[in-house]
Structure 1
Amino acid sequence: MANTTTADTATVAHDEPVSDADFADILTATREFVRDVVMPREQEFMAGDRVPDDIRQQAKDMGLFGYAIPQQWGGLGLNLAQDVEMAMEFGYTTLALRSMFGTNNGIAGQVLVGFGTDQQKERWLEGVASGDVVASFALTEPGAGSNPAGLRTKAVRDGSSDDADWVITGQKQYITNAPTADLFVVFARTRPADADGPGIAVFLVPADAEGVRVAGKDAKMGQEGAWTADVAFDEVRVGNDALIGGAVDIGYRAAMTSLARGRIHIAALSVGTAQRALDESVRYAATATQGGTPIGNFQLVQAMLADQQTGVMAGRALVRDAARLWLSGEDRRIAPSTAKLFCTEMVGKVADLAVQVHGGAGYMRDVPVERIYREVRLLRLYEGTSEIQRLIIGGGLVKAAQRSR
């Protein structure tokens, strides 16, 4: 595939919605990049535990670091319905590819897009969209994972004036892209929760600020090349202009909104990976033989393929519906959690069946379904565990019924 530049794909007018025709071109270029460029080098990602530099550069040239950032800030300006179609393509290969630019487009970048001041957007978003700035979402802490209400990182004003500096102290854990980050979107408690709000603010902290310490990258079960690390903030001083939205109570709402949107994206990513696991299973079943007979002729193998196909199709429909409800504003809470719960659990089952269809071959490191089996386990954990999604869904349904009485 010829190298596709941002100029090639971002042909839409400034700040105009991306048309179906233009998006079809973007999606085709993305699919070709994933299947023709990235997939043949999946073993290289895994063996080196890194994204090759030339693939990173090609992703930048294509505008993938800012596909969900508004066009006025240099992004492609895709909406969430288009985002999920992209995510299903990214899921078809090693998840390290998507992780490389996922925080720019998703949980970190969307905090800036949705809650930043004009000055903050002007300062950072063009760099985020181009990939020259890697933004990292620093929320999770020891003892505060899926529920931000447990945050212990503190931000204290150094003075009584409204424009005084802030001093941030605390520990963050499992922070995606921390080893390569240029900017941390940091959630910190400014006071105990009270009647006025949860007391959580969010700050823009440059990675080179004095007192920021990034530990070595974590050794994980899977997703080689997708780096995470602990980050310490030791009396890190930032100006009041680093306070997102210029308000101390935006943090909790920004986190919840960004995570809810991200859950639909993760659900779509899961569908893409499940489709890859299904395709690998069908291909293997059609060609591998047992006693001279293709194993795909055996009814029990066909039953496994049928269960995989059913999960993939159900997940794809659910993701698209959740994205539609988000865009219309009809449901930005229960539908995202429902999509993430179903699709991340579904891809785990599909990956398990893929290994089973492959038999002993599915346990070998050079077989794609082995990598998929390890990679998808994380999807049920980050951006809210399956258990948290069940609480959101169940609690939301009960509260809605009580309000309607």
Structure 2
Amino acid sequence: MPAERVLPSTEAEDLLSLVREIARDELAPKAAEAEEQGLFPRDAFRLLGRSGLLGLPYPEEIGGGGLPYEVYLQVLEELAAAWLTVAEGLSVHVMSCYPLARYGADEQRDRWLGDMLGGELLGAYALSEPHAGSDPASMTTRATRDGADYVVNGTKAWITHAGVADFYTLMARTSDDGGNGISCLLVDGGTEGVSAAPRERTMGLTGSTVAQLRFQGARVAAERRVAQEGAGLKIALSALDSGRLGIAACAVGLAQAALDESVRYAKQRKQFGKSIIDFQGVEFLLADMAAGVESARATYLEAARRRDRGLPFRRQAAIAKLVATDTAMKVTTDAVQVLGGAGYTRDFPVERYMREAKVLQIFEGTNQIQRLVIGRELRR
């Protein structure tokens, strides 16, 4: 289990107790079978919505939970330890709400944000393209103004919740002015001309719907543009700073689950007349795993506290994402080693944890991109 935490309020303590109960009783028992069968857990997101968890870090006056980002990230960690697909989906939803919450006009927030944060709707973040992943400024999906609407054509790639989302926060090109020619549009999921390709056949997170998202003459009212034309790339990069902290928290939750399973197995497994946890080779491996998890947790929490204080946190977010996801990959790999042959089978969850950990090093900016971000911030 995660280490005891000093939380900022009794309300936060009560919330995390509720989340642990949901994770233990409602999510964990269903995770393995759903991932095995590739079933998208829409009911789990409805449960999170009814529990008030889909808008936690946003102010109460705009429909959110009004809690610090530090607390929201700990919620993600708890959920990820039970079922990563659900935690990662919550992180994507929260990031999808960010552009409207942070940059939208008052009348736009009044009209749409309450439903987005209220619990019944699920969002997706449409930025990446088949040939514009780490380089979003080169995107080609275009939104052309036509009277009171934009007509959108193009393809987005690797979109979590593609085809099942109720709304898409879309970044599309509105002019040919490079990174300054990208705008942000809020697209209703039922818009004619918006469709999803067949799901990607991923190595992990098989319960999540990840697919290309296609726009073919889709008409989006201009009133659904967030901020002015050309502000989309700035908005996208700002959203990613917070989204990377979400992925860091998810990674720590997954690593904690792998550590817990490893310790449990090492206590029970007997070799040469004693538990394998009593062998120094295993004991040291577990100690290194625990040190990695604790260090990664401290890193993301410190970045979140900077965010909560209104301080710059881009470099710290990139570091947290880099450290936490690399740690998750190492810890889950070591967990398979601790379990030996059993760890390589699907009778135990650690092989799934290992497969799931890999993608955490890739999305919301690969870890190579995180190093670029960190380096650029150091040069400033």
Structure 1 residue 190 displacement after superposition: 1.3
Q: 1:28 to 1:377 in 2, by over 3 A?
A: same
Alignment-derived partner of residue 70 in structure 1: 59
In structure 2, distance between residues paired with 1:100 and 1:342: 21
Amino acid at match of 1:362: G
In structure 1, distance between residues paired with 2:109 and 2:306: 27
1:173 partnered with 2:157: yes
Structure 1 residue 79 displacement after superposition: 2.1
Amino acid at match of 1:177: H
Amino acid at match of 1:133: L
The answer (yes or no) to whether the contact 2:62–2:114 under 8 Å persists in 1 is yes
Structure 1 residue 61 displacement after superposition: 1.7
Amino acid at match of 1:121: R
Structure 1 residue 292 displacement after superposition: 2.3
| Aligned mate of 2:123, from 135, 143, 146 | 135
In structure 2, distance between residues paired with 1:290 and 1:218: 42
In structure 1, distance between residues paired with 2:64 and 2:315: 29
Amino acid at match of 1:240: A
Give the match's secondary structure for 2:198: coil
Structure 1 residue 227 displacement after superposition: 1.1
Alignment-derived partner of residue 257 in structure 2: 276
Structure 1 residue 122 displacement after superposition: 2.0
The answer (yes or no) to whether the contact 2:247–2:360 under 8 Å persists in 1 is yes
Q: 1:396 to 1:101 in 2, by over 3 A?
A: closer
1:323 partnered with 2:304: yes
Structure 1 residue 209 displacement after superposition: 1.5
The answer (yes or no) to whether the contact 2:40–2:209 under 8 Å persists in 1 is no
Give the match's secondary structure for 2:183: strand
Give the match's secondary structure for 2:180: coil
Structure 1 residue 102 displacement after superposition: 2.7
| Aligned mate of 2:232, from 251, 259, 262 | 251
Alignment-derived partner of residue 126 in structure 1: 114
Amino acid at match of 1:27: L
Alignment-derived partner of residue 34 in structure 1: 23
Q: 1:181 to 1:52 in 2, by over 3 A?
A: closer
1:20 partnered with 2:9: yes
Count the aligned residue pairs.
374
- Spell out, residue by residue over 1:143-167, the C-alpha distance to the aligned partner (whole angstroms, 9 max, x if none): 11123111111112125xxxx4211
Q: 1:188 to 1:52 in 2, by over 3 A?
A: closer
| Aligned mate of 2:96, from 108, 116, 119 | 108
The answer (yes or no) to whether the contact 2:200–2:211 under 8 Å persists in 1 is yes
Structure 1 residue 63 displacement after superposition: 1.4
In structure 2, distance between residues paired with 1:158 and 1:227: 32
The 10-residue stretch of structure 1 (276-285 or 46-55) with the greater mean CA deviation from structure 2:
46-55
Alignment of 1:148-297 (within 5 A): 148-159=136-147, 164-193=148-177, 198-245=180-227, 247-297=228-278
| Aligned mate of 1:94, from 83, 97, 115 | 83
Amino acid at match of 2:116: V
- Spell out, residue by residue over 1:318-361, the C-alpha distance to the aligned partner (whole angstroms, 9 max, x if none): 11111112222332211100110111001100000000000000
The answer (yes or no) to whether the contact 2:245–2:304 under 8 Å persists in 1 is yes
| Aligned mate of 1:83, from 72, 81, 93 | 72
| Aligned mate of 2:355, from 362, 371, 374 | 374
In structure 1, distance between residues paired with 2:21 and 2:126: 33
TM-score normalised by the chain length of structure 2: 0.94
The answer (yes or no) to whether the contact 1:168–1:237 under 8 Å persists in 2 is yes
Structure 1 residue 37 displacement after superposition: 2.4
1:307 partnered with 2:288: yes
Alignment-derived partner of residue 388 in structure 1: 369
Alignment-derived partner of residue 3 in structure 2: none
In structure 2, distance between residues paired with 1:57 and 1:175: 20
The 10-residue stretch of structure 1 (129-138 or 200-209) with the greater mean CA deviation from structure 2:
129-138
The answer (yes or no) to whether the contact 1:205–1:242 under 8 Å persists in 2 is yes
Structure 1 residue 271 displacement after superposition: 1.1
In structure 2, distance between residues paired with 1:34 and 1:360: 28
Alignment-derived partner of residue 4 in structure 2: none
The answer (yes or no) to whether the contact 1:69–1:109 under 8 Å persists in 2 is no
In structure 2, distance between residues paired with 1:86 and 1:324: 15
The answer (yes or no) to whether the contact 2:191–2:218 under 8 Å persists in 1 is yes
Alignment-derived partner of residue 6 in structure 1: none
In structure 2, distance between residues paired with 1:395 and 1:69: 29
In structure 1, distance between residues paired with 2:175 and 2:213: 22
In structure 2, distance between residues paired with 1:227 and 1:391: 29
Amino acid at match of 2:195: R
Structure 1 residue 52 displacement after superposition: 4.8
Amino acid at match of 1:204: L
Structure 1 residue 216 displacement after superposition: 2.1
The 10-residue stretch of structure 1 (378-387 or 127-136) with the greater mean CA deviation from structure 2:
127-136
Structure 1 residue 99 displacement after superposition: 3.2
The answer (yes or no) to whether the contact 1:278–1:308 under 8 Å persists in 2 is yes
Q: 1:221 to 1:395 in 2, by over 3 A?
A: same
Amino acid at match of 1:79: P
In structure 2, distance between residues paired with 1:273 and 1:251: 32
- Spell out, residue by residue over 1:45-68, the C-alpha distance to the aligned partner (whole angstroms, 9 max, x if none): 223322456544422221122223
Q: What fraction of aligned residue pairs are identical, expressed as a percent?
A: 39
Structure 1 residue 19 displacement after superposition: 6.5
Give the match's secondary structure for 1:359: helix
